[in-house]
Structure 1
Amino acid sequence: MSLAAPMTATLLLIDPSAIRSRRLIKAVARDPRFTLMAHCKTFADAYNLTESRKPAVVAIAAELVSNRGFPMYNALLDALDSTSVIMCTTNADTARFRTLGQTFELPDSSRIEAMLDDLAARSARFGFQQVGKRNTANSRLAVIGASTGGVEALTAVLSHFPADCPPTLVVQHIGHDFVSGFARRLDRLCAAKVVEASDGARIEPGHVYVAPGLPAHLTLSTTGLSCQLDPAPSQSGHRPSVDALFNSVERLGDRVVAALLTGMGQDGAKGLLRIRNAGGHTIAQDRDTCVVYGMPRVAQDIGAVIQQLPLNRIGPALIEAAGLPEKGRVT
């Protein structure tokens, strides 16, 4: 999981939009190829910083081109051969920005990571040494299942995950209408990016994918590189089912770390056993910290559990088993 090179590209963001800025800042923080130098809302704030520190890349909100401070700032950029410019715009008509450098249309937040990938791929043109992302195909994968009491249990576990955590797939038994709000809450509270899983979504380090509010199982695709939503019948009385998720990752062997948290019934217990038998590392929540000691108890009884731990130790244990240092709890 080592990075390809120690150098990153410094990026200066100039954008008055708080919402768009937060999205980009969060994406840059998760990407080892870039370092955010600063976020400025105006050209006046950015001018001296750009002149003194010469960022490798300047990202400018397209609507600022009409700002009266732009001509002076653009003249500074023209004088800095080592600095490249990208325009972040929601306007499909970007022809008038072409002379300023690369232009990236961002109609929604999903385009931000595509923009960063494109930017890194053009590293030679931008004059910095590219730092590669982790190879997902060779990374550990974390899977977590929970039911009754799992909303707070998952919050506690994922609060220990660093921004570059292993890609993580989660099944929580919860009413379908509540999934979106639950995922957004986790995303606000955690350093990692937490999203509802979508069919075909590429699995990346630093991301947690929660089974969406659909009557479908969240599973790992046959390539091992993306999420798959399977509309097959219920397993262990549930859809999505923890067993369905766990069974789909069994083939990865010792590249899997799995945790089964509080919950009624037995969903996930047999799948956890299959993961253990295949060489994966398995963890279950202990009796004293479970709201309902059902699923973890069955897993313990059938020999599926390598570590049985209190809730506050499960997050760090998953990160340790995945081979990453814990980088502090987000509160």
Structure 2
Amino acid sequence: MKWMEIRIVYEAPDPHTAMDLISDIFTDIGRPGVVQETPEDEPGTDWAGDAPPRSRERAVIGYLPENDQLSNAVSILSEKLAFLEKTCNIRSQVTRRRMDEEDWAESWKSHFHPFRIGERMVVKPSWHSYDPLPHDLILEIDPGMAFGTGTHATTAMCIRLLEKHLRAGDRFLDIGCGSGILMLAADKLGAADMTGVDTDPVAVSVAAENMTRNRIDREKFHIFSGDLTTGVTGRFDLVCANIRTRIICDLLGLIPPVLAPGGILICSGISTRGRDEILAQMRVHGFEIIDELIETDWVALAVRATSHIKGTENPPSAQPPKKTVT
């Protein structure tokens, strides 16, 4: 399959807000998984000794499939960037590059090595070997064109919160499942079953392949293409959404019907600048924070519905939230 790489280099008075606004454009045209580059980024330990050089520019990079919708998507992108320049003083320069999926994959595979997240999780690319320690839980993935290698802070924080809050036998729902990495983690931690939903059909296919690659019983998982909770049936003990701040705000009102009594919602993909907005919306929808992680410019929250939310009978007593900054 052929893709169009769209690289948007930008300058703005508030670069972090600009990054979110430009990333939201890709969400609006149906390609929410983007690469974000900033001069502050430090290569993680997962890149081993051959890390790519630190970016000298601020950029958002997205990938659009070359199909009959490409021209319209590029037009919308250009219009929205012009609007951001006019209203927010976000100046941008766009470069495009056509590429095969195989070329894109090979361009970063040589840098991606097995690495550890949290206490027990080890993410292992499918093309690498790894000698596990006795307590290791191995997540073998090939993300293809889907978001979710575990290298990004938002994904890593989700996995760390899953380790703390998912109990054996829980039903797990991942909204915006990407490569399926969080579903794999839930399985390793003892989830009874896993459901994943993503707006991107490519991500749905990649996630299913990764579940099969990890020898997970086909009867144990269900992955489909959909928007947020549309098409989701049943209730889940733990729901995870590693998506953008704006989309989480839209999602909060849809969570109670799919969250089991006493269940936990984990939200990540929240910028530090969007934290107060999310907290305000959570209060409106009756959620209390039970855990929080902060890493660089990102926030992840674990929350539980309070007693006045319909369908959350017999909620646990409130606990003061835990907050961890790394």
Structure 2 length normalisation: TM-score? 0.28
Bigger-Rg structure (1/2): 1
More helix by share: 1
More strand by share: 2
Higher-RCO chain (CA-CA 8 Å, sequence separation at least 6): 1
